[in-house]
Amino acid sequence: MKYLANIDLNKNEIQNARFQNLAAAPSSPVAGLFYYDTVSNTALFHNGTGWIDMGQVLTGPDIVSLINACASLIDADNINSLTAAKISDFDTQVRTNALNQLTAPTADLSLNSHKLTNVTDPVSAQDAATKNYVDAARSGLTIKDPVRVASTANVVIATGTLLTIDGITLVAGDRVLLKNQTAAAENGIYVAATGSWSRASDANISAEVIAGMAIWVNEGTVNGDSRWVLTTNNSITLGTTALTFTKDFQASDIVAGAGMTKSGNQLDVIGVLNRILINADSIDISPNYVGQNTITTLGTIATGVWNGSIIPLLYGGTGASTAAGARSNLGATGKYAANVGDGSSTAITITHGLNSLDVVMTLKEVASPYNAVMTDWQIVDANNIKLLFATAPTAAQYRVVVIG
């Protein structure tokens, strides 16, 4: 793209810029012009007389000569015993290093009664734990293996035998949650047997029975598919402390409302033949529904002539019967185009007649390949703009298009 006027960047940066790559110097150079020579792989600029290499390499003698010409020289007499104080900003630069770039400590590290902040939760066993992680662990549930059934009344555990509990006939080895014992200290997880029942191995000592212990119940007319949580506060002495279990979830607690059905854990909406269509993941009006007079349900009008009144803007129309009237009513944009250039003028006024200050302008070459070009321009008034060129364009060299 060609620019026909100087560009003022108003002290802003040119970022990620690249020199023009050429195998030979550009013709008719002016002072300040620069390019990258792809043959010698050097950057050059023109000083008004000739091309200067911007990347010249200094040899050792060149460097020594420049150093010796300086007012201040390097003193190497004490270089074998430099301390941090003798190197400017040494401590500041060391502090910019990340801790993971330093050698690992070989002894305990004291934070002098300060804390680490903005750290992530642990993953591996030897990772430090954050307060958030510890709080979550302390307030979480202790999940036990599920039981087959949960009691609905007191069970004599000394002679429990293989009872029928909550509609389920037990077999030896079934895990059972007893939560309705007359002596609440007997509550807990048991293993059914033909004689005396014993507590399950994962809940038969005090250390394994703590507040927040959660048990899932698989079967049962009343308690099937439910979860029960031990809500007795710590500390607990098993066999002495009264244990209270509270239900915190059951699938049957969710019921199907009006217009819905439930099967297990799944809720479904009820469709109506030729009215409401139920898809896999959406609800729609049945294509066979003809209960309303709308284009949506009646389909596409394939024959005849569409006749109707002019639709006002208020209802989404144009308020007109012609294209010109519609554009005017809708405030649609207009366009003006003309060739510009006379070989002498650098300021050219364009009268577009669009009656708007809200206009945009584009400029391109009249001759192929019709490159777009850039120049400065001004909005004079609602019907005129002015193009400003650094060099006068030739006769009809460019074509201007104004839209507004």
Tell me the β-bridge partners of 169: 164
Tell me the β-bridge partners of 241: none
Residue 66 pLDDT more than 80?
no
DSSP state at residue 128: P
For 109-134, the pLDDT digits (tens) are: 888 888 888 887 676 767 787 776 56
Show the CA angle centred on residue 270, arms to residues 266 and 275, nearest 5°: 150
Closest CA relative to residue 251, chosen from 269, 267, 230, 268: 267
Task: Spell out the domains of the chain, with CATH numbers in brackets.
Answer: 18-64 (2.10.10), 142-253 (no CATH), 335-403 (2.60.40.10)
pLDDT at 69: 74
Over residues 39-62, the mean pLDDT reads: 88
Q: What is the mean pLDDT of the chain?
A: 84
What's the half-sphere exposure (Cβ side, CA atoms, 13 Å) at 368? 0
pLDDT at 62: 77
| Burial call 58-91: b when 16+ CB within 10 Å, e when fewer | eeeeeeeeeeeeeeeeeeeeeeeeeeeeeeeeee
- Model-level pTM? 0.35
Residue 259 pLDDT more than 80?
no
pLDDT at 118: 82
| Long-range interactions of 29-32: CB distance < 8 A, separation 24+ | none
Helices (H) and strands (E) in the chain, counts: 5, 26
Over residues 47-76, the mean pLDDT reads: 78
Residue 294 pLDDT more than 70?
no
Instruction: Give the confidence band of 13 by pLDDT, cuts at 50, 70, 90.
Output: confident
DSSP helix, strand, coil percent of the chain (3-state; round to 5) = 15, 25, 60
Residue 160 pLDDT more than 80?
no
For every residue of 277-323, DSSP letters joined together read EE-SS-EEE-TT--SS-SHHHH----SS----PPPPGGGTS-S-SSH
Residue 300 pLDDT more than 80?
no
Query: Is 240:184 a contact under the CB 8 Å cutoff?
Result: no
Residues 49 and 33: their CA atoms lie apart, in Å, by 11
Residue 397 pLDDT more than 60?
yes
Residue, of 374 and 142, whose pLDDT is higher = 374
